[in-house]
């Protein structure tokens, strides 16, 4: 039998670890350079998470690789999105390409929803790019409903200090957490 890579190993979802991001994880969130441009955003969000206004979750493979992530804003300037009491906002929800279609995204979202339910939140909101039909289907399957269209205008500063403006039209989706 030939050796297998971490992504090819048979695994159960219960073999995955979902935990909060540590400072040491920040470089790993760049996913081998794919998301290097968000380095400053990740560092700022990590500081926000230390104040209790946000959560940063990662999925770790049995071999120790960061293979997924979900960030949650608990309290933001947009009270209808994340008000610190009943509404939370999920963003940067992703699973690495080679790990997709194995139930990891569904597993991660169930974890996030359970965590928010325990914290007393009643609604989860998120945005999904209109062009991302795969994610839209996932969220609909998980019970999220489109509640509005969003212009998706935002900006970030890359590690070189360059300010980038993004226009990514999106659907705002929401789910009521029950039970």
pLDDT tens, position by position, 62-75: 999 999 999 999 99
Mean pLDDT of the chain: 92
- Decide: 88 and 95 in contact? Cβ < 8 Å: no
Collapsing DSSP states into helix, strand and coil, what is residue 84? coil
pLDDT for res 179: 57
Collapsing DSSP states into helix, strand and coil, what is residue 177? coil
Order across the sheet with 66-73: list the strands. Answer: 17-20, 54-60, 66-73, 87-95, 123-129, 170-176, 145-150
Query: Tokens 């190993």 correspond to what residue?
Result: 9
Structural domains in the chain, sorted by start:
13-176 (3.40.630.30)
Q: Specify the pTM.
A: 0.91
CB atoms within 10 A of CB 61: 19
Query: Tokens 């914290």 correspond to what residue?
Result: 119
Confidence band, pLDDT 50/70/90 cuts, at residue 10: confident
Q: Is the pLDDT of residue 5 over 60?
A: no
Between CA 36 and CA 10, with CA 98 as vertex, the angle to 5 degrees is 135
Q: Is the pLDDT of residue 6 over 70?
A: no
Query: Tokens 């080679």 correspond to what residue?
Result: 98
CA atoms of 139 and 127, how far apart (whole Å): 10
Percent of the chain with pLDDT over 70: 94
Q: Which residue has the higher pLDDT, 6 or 105?
A: 105
Q: What confidence tens digit (pLDDT) does each residue in 125-166 have?
A: 999 999 999 999 999 999 999 999 999 999 999 999 999 999
Q: Is the pLDDT of residue 3 over 60?
A: no
Confidence band, pLDDT 50/70/90 cuts, at residue 11: confident
pLDDT for res 95: 96
């Amino acid at each position: 039998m030939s050796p297998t890579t971490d992504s090819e190993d048979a695994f159960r979802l219960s073999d995955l670890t979902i935990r909060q991001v540590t400072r040491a994880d920040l470089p790993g969130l760049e996913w081998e350079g794919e998301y290097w441009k968000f380095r400053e955003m990740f560092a700022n969000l990590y500081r926000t998470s230390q104040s209790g206004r946000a959560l940063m979750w990662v999925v770790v493979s049995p071999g120790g690789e960061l293979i997924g992530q979900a960030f949650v804003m608990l309290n933001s300037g947009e009270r209808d999105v994340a008000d610190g009491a009943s509404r939370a906002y999920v963003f940067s929800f992703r699973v690495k390409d080679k790990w997709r279609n194995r139930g990891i995204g569904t597993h991660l979202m169930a974890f996030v929803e359970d965590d928010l339910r325990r914290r007393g939140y009643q609604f989860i909101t998120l945005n999904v790019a209109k062009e991302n039909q795969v994610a839209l289907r996932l969220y609909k399957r998980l019970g999220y409903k489109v509640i509005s269209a969003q212009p998706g205008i935002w900006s970030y500063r890359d590690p070189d200090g360059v300010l980038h403006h993004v226009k990514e039209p999106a659907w705002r989706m929401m789910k009521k957490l029950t039970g």
